[in-house]
């Protein structure tokens, strides 16, 4: 008997609050190798093609003191947080780790990871930065195949075309459902808090896709009853936002995360591999299809070109009828630091209020941020044009 919507949400919330525990449990339950990754440009389907379990390591927002023995404090705290988890032995269930050249801080973490042998195997995918050329698509496809070849040796399991095709289908399905949920939330058609939504995003990159899909289907088919979340609707923008406790504190200021512009959210769930893309017959090759889909998603600021990101953000604001935008930025995040004045100006040109919160993904020490966010909420409440349903 399928779970009720409420039961499904409770399970997704539980997983999303502690994805690491779920990854470990999955490894114990299935006996399959767990391969961790750290950014959403890495196609998890590639890991699944080897019969392994992909696990996006979340930033858990705890003290990253241990990492300071290995990497300087001006590395981004999200990157240091991930390194710290590995150094504390909390990722010891992982058989391997896959890095891309996401940013210079994660690159530094890769160096330490590699030198300290923090997992039995570690790979740096020689990932393109340019995302809008056919050459980049073909190169990435070839690179993914090469990495897959090396993974086959490490995991003693070669990639299998059938498994890759199944993985692509399963991941397309799960991302499609997340998109459906997100659109429903933005349209006010389902009553789920922003913190729960972010927990579901976390769950989506650790659970077995079929299990996740069936839970999400149950949730969408039998939405929990209850009033719409209160609070001033905002779009949460940034890179990732994995700390659910921090999300609850943010919403506790009277803001409601009604939609997002996160690499782990709306810039991820739109990925549909091999459907309706350019390139003609080449995309019959699943590696080319994978490369194209991941390169052409709404970009992060570490990619070129990045300007579609601003358009994507504005689109989310409009879809959600959001009253404003909260941009959460990791301290020392170079690309978001440069992107900020541009995004701010683009939003303000459209009359959309925005505030910047810089932090280390920790719930501890939230007081100062709380004061600022409450002031932002009050300013939004005073805005003309903002009513019960937000901008619209």
Partner 1 sequence: MSARLEATENLKSLIKKYYNDLYGAEKEGIPTAWLNVGVPCEIFYAMDMFPFYPENYAAAAGSMKLTPQLSAVAEARGFSADLCSYVRTALGTVIAGEGPYGPLPRPTVQVSAMNSCIMIMIWWRAVEREWDVPTFVVDTPLVEKESTGINLDYVNSEVRRMVAWVEEKTGRKMDLDRLKEVVRLSNEGKDLWAETLDLRRAHPCPITAADIFTHMFPMVALRGTPEFVEHLRLLRDEVKDRVERGFAAVPEERYRLLWDNLPPWYDLRLFSDLAKQGANFVIDTYTQAWGPRYMGEIDTVDPLRSLAGYMGSGFLNVQVEKRYELLEELVDLYDVDGVVFHSDRSCKPFSLVQVELRRMLQDRVGVPGLILEGDHNDPNLLDRGRAMSQLDSFLELLEGRK
Q: Measured from the CB atom, is 62 or 101 closer to partner 1? A: 101
Q: Measured from the CB atom, is 105 or 253 closer to partner 1? A: 105
Most distant CA atoms of the chain, gap in Å: 62
Q: Measured from the CB atom, is 63 or 146 closer to partner 1? A: 146
Q: How far is the CB of 302 from partner 1 (least distance, A)?
A: 6
Q: How far is the CB of 193 from partner 1 (least distance, A)?
A: 31
3-class state of residue 100 by DSSP: strand
d(CA 31, CA 216): 25
- Which residues of this chain interact with partner 1, rule CB under 8 A? 69-72, 74-75, 101, 103-105, 107-112, 114-116, 124, 126-130, 133, 135-136, 139, 142-143, 146, 301-302, 304, 306, 331-332, 334-335, 337-342, 344
Q: How far is the CB of 323 from partner 1 (least distance, A)?
A: 22
**Residue 48: Cβ within 10 Å count:** 24
Give the CA distances from residue 381 to residues 56, 235, 236, 375, in Å, rounded to whole numbers and listed in that order. 37, 15, 17, 10
3-class state of residue 121 by DSSP: strand
Q: Measured from the CB atom, is 139 or 366 closer to partner 1? A: 139
Q: What are 33's two structure tokens?
A: 């190798």
**Residue 35: Cβ within 10 Å count:** 28
Secondary-structure breakdown of the chain: helix, strand, coil percentages, each rounded to the nearest 5: 50, 15, 35
Q: How far is the CB of 222 from partner 1 (least distance, A)?
A: 45
Q: Measured from the CB atom, is 80 or 267 closer to partner 1? A: 80
Contacts of 199 (CB under 8 A, 6+ apart): 12, 13, 15, 16, 17, 244, 247
Q: How far is the CB of 138 from partner 1 (least distance, A)?
A: 8
Q: What are 82's two structure tokens?
A: 């991930």
**Closest listed residue to residue 272, CA positions, set 392, 171, 195:** 171
Q: Measured from the CB atom, is 259 or 286 closer to partner 1? A: 286
Q: How far is the CB of 116 from partner 1 (least distance, A)?
A: 8
In degrees, rounded to 5, the angle at the alpha carbon of residue 151 between the alpha carbons of residues 145 and 155 is 145
Q: What are 332's two structure tokens?
A: 């020392």
Q: How far is the CB of 109 from partner 1 (least distance, A)?
A: 8
Sign, Cα dihedral of 315, 136, 339, 106: positive
Q: How far is the CB of 194 from partner 1 (least distance, A)?
A: 26
Q: How far is the CB of 298 from partner 1 (least distance, A)?
A: 17
DSSP H or E run through 380: helix 367-382
Q: What are 179's two structure tokens?
A: 């998109």
Q: Measured from the CB atom, is 251 or 261 closer to partner 1? A: 261
Q: How far is the CB of 232 from partner 1 (least distance, A)?
A: 24
**Closest listed residue to residue 103, CA positions, set 240, 237, 260:** 240
Q: Measured from the CB atom, is 148 or 202 closer to partner 1? A: 148
Cα 131–chain centre separation: 18
Q: Measured from the CB atom, is 71 or 190 closer to partner 1? A: 71
275, 284 contact by CB (below 8 A): no
Q: Measured from the CB atom, is 179 or 344 closer to partner 1? A: 344
16, 166 contact by CB (below 8 A): no
């Amino acid at each position: 008997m399928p779970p009720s919507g409420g039961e499904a949400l409770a399970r997704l919330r539980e997983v999303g609050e502690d994805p690491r525990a779920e990854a470990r449990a999955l490894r114990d339950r299935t006996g399959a190798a767990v391969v961790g990754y750290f950014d959403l440009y890495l196609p998890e389907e590639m890991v699944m093609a080897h019969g392994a379990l992909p696990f996006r390591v979340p930033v858990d927002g705890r003290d990253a003191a241990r990492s300071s023995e290995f990497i300087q404090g001006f590395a981004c705290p999200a990157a240091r947080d991930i390194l710290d988890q590995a150094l504390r032995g909390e990722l010891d269930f992982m058989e391997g780790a896959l890095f891309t050249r996401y940013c210079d801080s994660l690159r530094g973490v890769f160096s330490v990871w590699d030198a300290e042998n923090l997992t039995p195997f570690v790979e740096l995918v020689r990932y393109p930065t340019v995302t809008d050329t056919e050459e980049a698509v073909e190169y990435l496809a070839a690179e993914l195949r090469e990495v897959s070849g090396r993974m086959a040796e490490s995991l003693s399991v070669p990639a299998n075309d059938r498994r890759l095709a199944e993985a692509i289908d399963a991941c397309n399905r799960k991302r499609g459902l997340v998109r459906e949920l997100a659109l429903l939330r933005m349209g006010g058609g389902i009553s789920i808090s922003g913190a729960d939504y972010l927990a579901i995003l976390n769950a989506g990159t650790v659970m077995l896709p079929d299990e996740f899909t069936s839970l999400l289907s149950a949730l969408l088919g039998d939405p929990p009853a209850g009033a719409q979340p209160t609070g001033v609707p905002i779009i949460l923008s940034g890179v990732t936002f994995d700390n659910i406790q921090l999300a609850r504190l943010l919403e506790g200021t009277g803001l409601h995360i009604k939609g997002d512009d996160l690499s782990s959210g709306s810039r991820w769930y739109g990925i549909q591999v091999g459907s309706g893309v350019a390139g003609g017959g080449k995309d019959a090759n699943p590696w080319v299809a994978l490369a194209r889909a991941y390169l052409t998603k709404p970009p992060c600021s570490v990619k070129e070109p990045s300007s579609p990101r601003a358009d994507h953000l504005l689109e989310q604001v409009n879809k959600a009828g959001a009253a404003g935008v909260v941009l959460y930025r990791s301290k020392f995040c170079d690309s978001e630091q440069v992107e900020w004045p541009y995004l701010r100006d683009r939003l303000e040109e459209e009359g959309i209020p925005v505030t910047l919160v810089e932090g280390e993904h920790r719930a501890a020490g939230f007081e100062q941020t709380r004061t600022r966010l409450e002031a932002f909420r009050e300013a939004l409440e005073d805005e003309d044009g903002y009513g019960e349903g937000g901008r619209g």
